[in-house]
């Protein structure tokens, strides 16, 4: 299973607007992704309710994971989005 550990770059964490941006970015990858806080239970990263239930704050570490084909590229792009607190998914290289 591929995974990336990243620190949340949005000051407000994964709430409201950043969570919406992240959910759209996950959908755009076409790859099933989970997200979890270390020691917690993974949730579907494409679920707004799952993200909000995570309670992830700015500066918290999260783990993005997937075992699907194309996971490495998708996780790299999503990790950059989360770590940098971007407003959209970075362009593919």
CA distances to 7, 25, 61, 83 from 79, in Å: 9, 11, 11, 6
Q: Which of 2, 3, 9, 15 is catalytic?
A: 15
Query: CA-to-CA distance for 52 and 59, rounded, in angstroms?
Result: 16
30 is catalytic: no
Q: Which residues are catalytically annotated?
A: 15
């Amino acid at each position: 299973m591929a995974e990336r550990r990243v620190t949340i770059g949005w000051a407000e964490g994964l709430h409201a607007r950043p969570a919406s941006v992240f959910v759209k970015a996950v959908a755009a990858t076409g790859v099933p992704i989970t997200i979890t806080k270390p020691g917690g239970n993974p949730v579907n990263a494409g679920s707004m309710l799952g993200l909000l239930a995570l309670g992830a704050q700015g500066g918290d570490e999260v783990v993005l994971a997937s075992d699907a084909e194309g996971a490495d590229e998708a996780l790299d792009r999503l990790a950059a989005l989360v770590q940098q607190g971007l407003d959209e998914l970075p362009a593919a290289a």
